[in-house]
Structure formats: C-alpha cells, structure tokens
Structure 1
C-alpha cells in the first residue's frame, strides 16, 4: 500500500472551478465517484492503487470544493463529461484510464461519446443511466429517481435515505465492509452534497438525452475499451445493476464482478483495488500509456 501525500490542485472550467487530487505513479487512472461522493470518498481505495497508477480524484462541480460560478444554473451530464475531459487534459497528454461508479459510470459513458479517444479504458460499474434500459424499465428507473427527489423535498434526508436504500437494494442492517475503514460522518458538507446530488444531479440524469448506442459506437471508432461491471451482492432487480447488464449486452461482453454491492468500492477498498489492477492490467497496452504531467 502506498501512503504518499496527494497533490491538491484546482482547475478553472466554464462555469465552475474544480478541486482535484493526484497521487501515485504510473498511468493516469481517474476515479469518478458515486452519489454525493467527492474526492475524499475513496480515501481508503486510493492508497491501494497509487503504487501502480497515478490516481486522480475530484469533486464534481457543485460538490464540496468544486464551486459553481452561478449556483442557479442547472448542471448537465454533458457538463460533467466536459469537466472530465478538461481535467484529464490537465494531467496527461495521452488517453487515460477511468473507473466510474454509479453516477461516475454514467459520466464516463458520456465522456466516451463526447470526447472520443480521451479514455483508453472505462470501467462502468452499475451506471445510473435510465436510457440504457428498455422503455418500460427506463420509465420505472426515472420514476424511482423522481420519487427520491419528492421524498427529499417533503422530508429532507431523513425521508430520502430509505428511498435511496430501496432504489439501490441496500439493507443497512446487513451491510458488510472491510475492517479499519475511514469514518464518513454525515457532516454539513456531506449533507449539502446529498442535497445537490438529489435536487440537481438526479434531474441531469433523468433529462439526459444521450443515445445509449453512441458510447459504444464512439468507443469502437476510437479504440476505447468499455468494461461493464456489477456488484457481487447487488440484487438483480436493482435498476443500476440492470443498466450494467444492458451495457454488457450492447458490447457483447460479460460484466466484471466486483466485491460488495452498489457501493462496494467504498465498503471493500482493498478487494476493489485488486480487481481494478487485474482488469486494467489484462491488456498490456493499457499500462503503457503516456506519463502524467
């Protein structure tokens, strides 16, 4: 495990200033977080990757330290994808690796479509992307997200959390995790992140018009490898799990099995790092990318 200190940087982009962190040596690997997660969400995962990769983590615009120029302006999935492209251009001259989880996976697919060749490999773990599903399931997925927004508007996080747990198939009473994890308390900043995620980013997801075939076509043209991934304990009825299966079907591939459920990357960081290294190391070219700046 590598314990070097991360370099903290900022990047001005249209409409926002991004906070990001860089740690490690080797090819660039961007971790794009799930939910309300910011750059610190994977504090337990990064040290197990930094001996092999230059790991980049960041706060999505509107979360934590990535401030918006105009808080009243809506944020779109295209905004997030453009941020990823600009962020990667800041740290490396060549195509990069990306592991996206849930919201981060959807952003990764959008990045592949909007910025062909920016990524050499994308691991898309249970993307929150209704457009991947057949029409009836797509409407059901979007309706669940809207129901969570309604619950939050009516009763705040106290009302929203049970709805989120149901949506992701999480049973808090049966949650398992590796030992020695860094506590993630519900601080005021994290509460604000949840509010932004539910109130603004859910809308970005449900109104996104990306054709799900476009990332697949763009990846084929650019030579980008998209690897769909699922949580080992995620229930198959969960919409994000089914999104991963639909993505796998479009690619003609089998999804990679990751430890834990939808949030396995934070609950099982050591085991997740092992899988990431194995998957990203199985193609020699991926580990011979240009060095970071």
Structure 2
C-alpha cells in the first residue's frame, strides 16, 4: 500500500484536473491575475488578508499548479496566500515554443511574481520541483525570501547513486518520446516510489501495464506533457549552488515526509542537508501529505499545515 500511495502521489504531480474538496468557509476566495514573463503567460491567485502582520505566504509546486494547494491555503486564512501555475502547467502557457522548462527559468518567473504581489520578502512553502525552483531563487535573491520551507526537492544530482538516478529520468523521458504517456508514467511512478538506491538499468526493468495505475493504454501522439517533457530531466539534473545556499542557511528549512523514507525525493533532501551542514525537519505524511482531496487524494493536511505553521512561526 505504501508503494501504491507513493505512486499515486506521483500521478498528482503530473497535474491531472483536481476533484472538488471542502476547503473550509473561513478561506478567502482567491483573486486570479495574469503576469506576462519572458516566454510565458503566468496565471496566479491571491487570497488577500490585508490585516495580516506577517509577510505573504507563497505556496508553490512544479509541475503541480495552484489547484493542488486549496486545502493548504485554507489553513492560512489569517495571512495573504499566493499560489500560481508554473509555466506550461494548467492555466499558464508557454509563448516561446520551447519544449523544456528549467529551474532557472522558473526562479525568474517567481522573482517577477513576488515583485507583482508586493515585492517581498515573502515566506515560501515549496514542494517537489517547486522546492528545486525556490532553492534556485533563494540562492540568487535571498532578499526576496524571509523563510523558505523546501519540501522534498528531487535533486537526484546530489545522490550517491546519481548516475543511475539521472539515467533513469532520461530513460523515462525517452520512453515518453517513443511510447507515450502511459508507459512513461508507469516508470515515473516506479522511480519515485522506489526505496533505496536506484538500480542499474532501471528503465529496462519489468513494469506493470499502464492500466494498473489508471493510465491510458493507447498513445494519443502528444509529446508536450508538462512533467515528462518539460520538467522531469531539467529538475532532477539541476545542481543547486551549495555555497550560496550556505550563506543564507538561516532562511532555509529542509523538510521530508515521515512516510517518504528512502524514496528519491526524501533521500535527495537529506543529501542536500548533509552538504549544507543542517538537519531535516520531518512533516506528517508523504510527498503529497498536504493534499486534502485535490486530485482525488487525501494526505494529512491538518497535521501538515500545523507543522508548517510551527516552522514559519519559529523562523519569524
């Protein structure tokens, strides 16, 4: 069951349309805006709280869009919360025709988003690929961030088994280009739910049929998936500026899920902590512990939000 849960968490990252969820009457309704950036049109939402005495909270993922964070945002109705759709995801469209997005591009988008919503400094909760992008941001512009809570950045580049892990991600993209969404997503689910070092020849290992995960069996011919085509390789292959991050370590809290032990993103979080000479804070749930019904999944959102609030309050 643990592998199954982790696998379905990966499908969440793929960005399928969310199911409706009760997010609480106290949550401020989001105001949607659009932002023109080089190569893209970015959609973002602001849940305003003008009386708040703390900085806005920017909640981000990648490729997960704003629709994945409704429950989490609802737990912070006492402060302004900003969410957005990364370039190429859901409401945000690429205008440059590029087939890949990089953490550096995403970080630049985030700079412009922060400037458009008041200029910072802001608190940031960033998960998965969003955490990779936020680490790129804080390394270059620490003045824009008061506290960054980086939840399970999948920095495969930092792992002892980096060669095998990076080969697996490039192999998954190759599978996508050759065979389509279903077979590639099965491999992706296998990779992110695998516990321990990634084995040699991962992409050649036997795999379940896509139908076992509710994935399409037929290839529709498209090759523009926001995860598999645009972000998977550039995100996992990204090497953060460790020296720059050490300089701003007081602004960074690295977080891993209690149920994610030995999975790739969790292992990468601990590897980064070792390089920075810091510790990892454990949050409830797994890689998707904050979900409260979005994408048909529920983690431990109440406990997760409580842990996040405690960290942000402790860093103030």
Task: Return the TM-score normalized by structure 1.
Answer: 0.80
Q: How many residues are treated as equivalent by the alignment?
A: 258
1:61 corresponding residue in structure 2 = 87
1:109 corresponding residue in structure 2 = 135
Tell me the SS of whatever aligns to 2:45: strand
Structure 1 vs Structure 2 CA RMSD: 2.5
* 2:313 is aligned with 1:260: no
Cα distance, 1:154 vs structure 2: 3.6
Q: Which stretch shifts more, 269-278 or 156-165?
A: 156-165
Any conservation in 2 of the 1:81–1:114 contact (CA below 8 Å)? no
Q: Match for 2:193 among 161, 169, 177?
A: 169
Q: Match for 2:270 among 245, 261, 269?
A: 245
Deviations 1:208-237 (A, max 9, x none): 3543333223x15xxx5110110111131x
CA distance in 1, matches of 2:223, 2:140: 26
Deviations 1:58-94 (A, max 9, x none): 0001111111112235422111001111101111233
Map residues 225-240 of structure 1 onto 2, 5 A cutoff: 225-236=251-262, 238-240=263-265
CA distance in 2, matches of 1:56, 1:147: 35
CA distance in 2, matches of 1:133, 1:212: 14
Q: Match for 1:85 among 81, 104, 111?
A: 111
* 2:225 is aligned with 1:195: yes
Any conservation in 1 of the 2:259–2:285 contact (CA below 8 Å)? yes
1:276 corresponding residue in structure 2 = 308
CA distance in 1, matches of 2:31, 2:146: 24
Any conservation in 1 of the 2:99–2:230 contact (CA below 8 Å)? no
Cα distance, 1:170 vs structure 2: 7.3
2:72 corresponding residue in structure 1 = 45
Any conservation in 2 of the 1:97–1:119 contact (CA below 8 Å)? yes
Tell me the SS of whatever aligns to 1:44: helix
Tell me the SS of whatever aligns to 1:282: helix
CA distance in 1, matches of 2:192, 2:267: 11
Any conservation in 1 of the 2:155–2:269 contact (CA below 8 Å)? no
Deviations 1:134-165 (A, max 9, x none): 4xx22222122122213323433321232222
Any conservation in 1 of the 2:176–2:223 contact (CA below 8 Å)? no
1:32 corresponding residue in structure 2 = 60
Task: Return the TM-score normalized by structure 2.
Answer: 0.74
Unmatched 5+ residue regions in structure 2? 1-23, 196-213, 216-221, 292-298
Tell me the SS of whatever aligns to 1:94: coil
Cα distance, 1:13 vs structure 2: 1.1
Moved over 3 A (4+): 206-213
CA distance in 1, matches of 2:224, 2:72: 21
Any conservation in 1 of the 2:71–2:290 contact (CA below 8 Å)? no
2:44 corresponding residue in structure 1 = 20
Deviations 1:113-145 (A, max 9, x none): 1223111111111102223334xx222221221
